[in-house]
């Protein structure tokens, strides 16, 4: 992603003219979840500027100049009643450390967490209900990744019997949409804590981590090619993660 992220953070890389972060917030807001905490790191000031200018860039407005300057917005954009806490969690802080630093902004006993570089059509209320039903501390959403390569079925004589173009794996991988109970903070220690390593490993060892299998769409944006795939889907008018109207 260096082509895109050398001068801006990955959450501001655009899909269809909007940052991927906007798409992620729209997914949660569509399902009624509008209170967000953004853990800022690399070029976090650009994300702050994006939201500070959001009203002006997404509304018509009247501006009065002079000593009594003021701005009057003449319309409403669709992102109403979002509450967004922008928290500086450090330039070199790891994922678990960022979550730990954001603890002071999370007041409830249960909260959701995801990364700023993946989109999905996940049913968020269903995910939350699943988490609440099993009574453990953590839920991770999983999906079946598609192979990067076509698979050949070859017999003992080296004859190709079949060719399967990029099949789905039988294994499950993390899609990064989590639900946590507040006690998960006890598993986090210091800025260099990597959520995906010791904390999740300890939760699994304690039988406190449960998988929610998602059979729908999920796509991370780890490469420039993947950003092009997402833009092509959006421009086609058939973006699977666009569950909002």
Cα–Cα–Cα angle for 86, 217, 227, rounded to 5 degrees: 60
Phi, psi dihedral angles at 24 (to 5 degrees): -65, -45
- The pLDDT assigned to 60 comes to 92
Task: List beta partners, residue 112.
Answer: 179
CB–CB of 169/144 below 8 Å? yes
Pairing of strands 138-143, 83-88: unpaired
Q: Tens digit of pLDDT for each residue in 170-218?
A: 789 999 999 999 999 999 999 999 999 999 999 999 999 999 999 999 9
Which domains are delineated in the chain? 2-35+91-236 (3.90.550.10)
Q: Phi and psi (nearest 5°) for 10?
A: -55, -40
Structure confidence by residue, pLDDT tens digits, 29-72: 999 999 999 999 999 999 999 999 999 999 999 999 999 899 99
Find all residues with CB under 8 Å of 176, minimum gap 6, and list them.
114, 115, 118, 140, 141, 220
- Cα 105 off chain centre by: 18
Q: How far is CA 99 from CA 11, 33, 58, 71, in A?
A: 17, 19, 30, 36
Can you tell me whether residue 64 is helix, strand or coil? strand
| Sequence-ordered alpha helix ranges (H) in 102-146 | 124-134
């Amino acid at each position: 992603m260096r082509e895109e992220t050398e001068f801006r953070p990955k959450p501001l890389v655009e899909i269809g003219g909007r940052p991927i972060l906007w798409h992620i917030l729209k997914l949660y807001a569509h399902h009624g979840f509008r209170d967000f905490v953004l853990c800022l790191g690399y070029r976090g000031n650009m994300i702050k500027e994006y939201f500070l200018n959001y009203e002006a860039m997404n509304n018509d407005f009247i501006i009065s100049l002079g000593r009594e300057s003021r701005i009057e917005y003449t319309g409403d954009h669709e992102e109403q009643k979002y509450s967004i806490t922008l928290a500086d969690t450090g330039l070199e802080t790891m994922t678990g450390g960022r979550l730990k630093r954001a603890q002071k902004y999370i007041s409830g006993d249960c909260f959701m967490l995801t990364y700023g570089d993946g989109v999905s059509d996940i049913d968020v209320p269903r995910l939350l209900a699943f988490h609440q039903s099993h009574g453990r501390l953590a839920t991770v959403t999983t999906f079946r990744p598609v192979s990067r390569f076509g698979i050949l079925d070859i017999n003992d004589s080296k004859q190709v019997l079949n060719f399967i173009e990029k099949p789905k794996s039988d294994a499950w991988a993390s899609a990064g949409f989590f639900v946590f109970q507040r006690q998960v903070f006890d598993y986090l220690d210091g800025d260099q804590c990597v959520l995906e390593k010791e904390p999740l490993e300890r939760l699994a060892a304690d039988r406190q981590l449960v998988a929610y299998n998602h059979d729908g769409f999920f796509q991370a944006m780890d490469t420039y090619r993947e950003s092009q795939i997402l833009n092509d889907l959006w421009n086609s008018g058939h973006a699977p993660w666009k569950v909002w109207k």
